[in-house]
Structure 1
Amino acid sequence: MPESRLEYSAATNAGLKRDNNEDTYLCLPERGLWLVADGMGGHEAGEVASAIVRDTLLDQRHKTLTQAIQASHRAVLSAASHGEGAPGMGSTIVALRSQGQEYEVAWVGDSRAYLWTYTPDGGRLERLTRDHSYVQMLLASGAIGEDEVEGHPDKNIITQCLGSHELNQVQVDSVHGQWQRDQWILLCSDGLTDELDDRELARLLFTSRSPRSAVSRLLRAALRSGGRDNITLQLVQSPFSRPSAWHSLWQWVPHITGRRTADLALYGAALVSLLLVLYWVAR
């Protein structure tokens, strides 16, 4: 049976073009709950909306994930009507709930979840969510092809968000699955996926040794690619993945070349050199 708590790592960054960070995230491993929320509505209002979403889900302990997300939609609407934040503020959300060997991912907007499964031949990356966006509607209707999505000028126009005053209820989509060994689930705002395509995400995940190192590498890569928006991401590891002693040791080896053998050789050479220097000084 899987362990009750899952290993995870998370990070958020304002990016290189914005002064404020409207994203937020929540990690509650003791309750098997993680989320990423991407606020919108201008300076301060976006932060307020995403924080309301986070805090509302924190309070909805006995609700289903869909019910909790609907409650967060109502909470954002109520706050705006009472002068908290600003009219028109809103937020996306992507949330993961894990219980035993089962997991559920639910979302509204264009924040995404991916399932990464490690295999020796390069791994497998599967997008679990489907954006609530104008471009996704065009793709579904056949008006554009897959190759036109990433470069489309209206890529960031979303059709659903928490706090939309035009909707009494939002459309909360969800997927369910069973954890397998050597899997991670990635939750992220569009600040990550606007900078890194699925192929680059898969490459970086494959060459990472732990959720912590993967989060660090993904964030750095997104910033190097432009960092045009706030960037938030979380990686949650399957409860069936128990790191070996060698795996734990690998986490302490510095990432230099991105190749384990080369990194270990460089790290070993550095340690040997240090020991020789210490020996020479001690003589």
Structure 2
Amino acid sequence: MAIAGDLHGAWGDADEKLLNLLRPDAVLFVGDLSNGNLHLTRRIALLPHPVAVILGNHDCGFDKNGGILHQQLVLLDDCHCAWRVRRWERLSLSVVGARPCSSGGGFHLSQAVKAVYGPVTLDQSVERILSAAASVPADEPLLILAHCGPTGLGSNPDSPCGRDWKSPAIDWGDQDLSIAIDRMAVTRPPDLVIFGHMHHALKRGSGYRQSLTQDRRGTVYLNSACVPRSGLDQQGCPFFHFSWAEFSGTCLTHLSHRWYAPDGKVKYKETFPLMRPMRH
């Protein structure tokens, strides 16, 4: 499957033509599409591929009343999987959505989210994620799609969810997602948790963020936010970034960052080593 990190408006005809060449089983979007740009949201909803989306904090635009967020949810319809499961009839894959429009930093609901979803508490958010995960069939991978990753992945500036724009650096992950993962792991640890929000290039040119980590239970965490995700290489040729995941049954067999040329050829690939899960 193809995974699109934070877009921030970097999406157009070339991206859609590339997806038609790659023909992924599914395309997952981790949010921050384009500050509430309804035209772009509509394009994503109309893609001729199985699509799952979790909206990010920038997808509310600057509308605190929730109007822009509501319009995006209407356009995305079943594609948006916040606090529920996204399924497809002809695909053995279920995507569990975490809290929508997260800005990280523990647990916080913006005014726009409160206007659309109501005053959801931390415990209620945890229960909604758990309820969605419990409905995933045992013969399908347990995959969680979030805008920001969970707490517990490190508190350094280059940690997958580490705060790098202000000192001191701290863990800036989502507390409700972390609690939900710990609780569901009692019976079935997630196979893959995908998120973005925290950009790979650290502030003030101080290096790059760690993209991947794997816990002792075997759960793999991937930050897919390569921003900007398209541009020109040193020869002036265009490139486009997608993360790429492959499963064999419930087993994650491949995970990588890939930078593509418009013709679908891989210009550069960073493949991540995966450990065998230590499960009983």
Report the TM-score, using the length of structure 2 for normalisation.
0.30
Q: Which has the higher contact order (CA 8 A, sep 6+)?
A: 1
TM-score by length of 1: 0.30
Higher helix share: 1
